[in-house]
């Protein structure tokens, strides 16, 4: 069995996820914690649940999703994973931090780059890395096929989709990613996005006004 907990953090109301198995092996997805209080809240939860964090898995490198990466790298001595096509966004994150008012942002280095068609085995978790560019050039989604769970960052939201008016975004790519990578998953798949509440693939195929199946 896989357990997960969402934390809505920073002024962008970004969803950070802690995911762990029955043995307490865990990962953190898109750590967006910036303030001392946010970081302590996450740390206290991890300690309370006796979770052994082993990986930082990011869906992409926009500033609201990487604010806490370096904190977790240093505090827990664990590797940071990212898709290589998102390296330009990560390198620009310090500039974005200044623009959006995060003067104490800590830049980070990638420890491991995702590979094409990669499947990660972490504890009892099997995670398929789906390449879903559009909102970001190296955007990925984390698919737990056995459990029917998808952590998809800023690609598909409940009744919405990720923005494509930022640098290096591409709307046609986003639509293609959703139609070919996400809408092909079982309708019962629960989608946990980077902002807002959860939904299912089946719900979005019939109700999303931006991308039809």
83 within some domain: yes
165 within some domain: yes
Range of the domain at 125: 2-207
Distance of alpha carbon 65 from alpha carbon 82, whole angstroms:
11
Domain total of the chain: 1
213 within some domain: no
For 77, residues 6+ apart whose C-beta sits below 8 A from its C-beta are none
Q: Other CB atoms closer than 10 Å to residue 85's CB: what's the count? A: 19
Whether residue 213 is predicted with pLDDT greater than 90 in this model: the reply is no
51 within some domain: yes
Residue 141 has a pLDDT of 98
Residue range 146-158, pLDDT digits in tens = 999 999 999 999 9
40 within some domain: yes
Q: What's the Cα-to-Cα distance from 212 to each of 56, 156, 175, 206, rounded to whole Å?
A: 32, 12, 9, 7
Residue 15 has a pLDDT of 98
Tell me, what CATH number does 172's domain have?
3.60.15.10
212 within some domain: no
DSSP state of 86: G
Mean pLDDT across 151-176: 97
Residue 209 has a pLDDT of 97
């Amino acid at each position: 069995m896989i357990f997960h907990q969402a934390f809505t953090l920073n002024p962008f109301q970004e969803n950070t996820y802690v995911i762990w198995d029955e043995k307490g092996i865990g990962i953190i997805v898109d750590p967006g914690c910036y303030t001392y209080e946010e970081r302590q809240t996450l740390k206290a939860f991890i300690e309370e649940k006796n979770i052994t964090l082993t990986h930082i898995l990011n869906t992409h490198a926009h500033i609201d999703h990487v604010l806490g990466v370096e904190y977790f790298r240093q505090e827990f001595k664990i590797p940071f994973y990212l898709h290589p096509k998102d390296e330009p966004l990560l390198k620009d994150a310090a500039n974005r931090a200044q623009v959006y008012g995060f003067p104490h942002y800590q830049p980070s280095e990638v420890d491991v780059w995702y590979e094409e068609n990669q499947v990660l085995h972490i504890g009892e978790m099997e995670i398929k890395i789906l390449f879903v560019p559009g909102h970001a050039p190296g955007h990925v989604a984390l698919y737990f096929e056995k459990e029917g769970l998808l952590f998809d960052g800023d690609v598909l939201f409940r009744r919405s989709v990720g923005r494509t008016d930022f640098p290096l975004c591409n709307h046609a790519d986003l639509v293609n990613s959703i139609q070919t990578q996400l809408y092909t998953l079982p309708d019962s798949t629960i989608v946990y996005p980077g902002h807002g509440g959860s939904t299912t693939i089946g719900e979005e195929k019939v109700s999303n006004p931006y991308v039809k199946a």
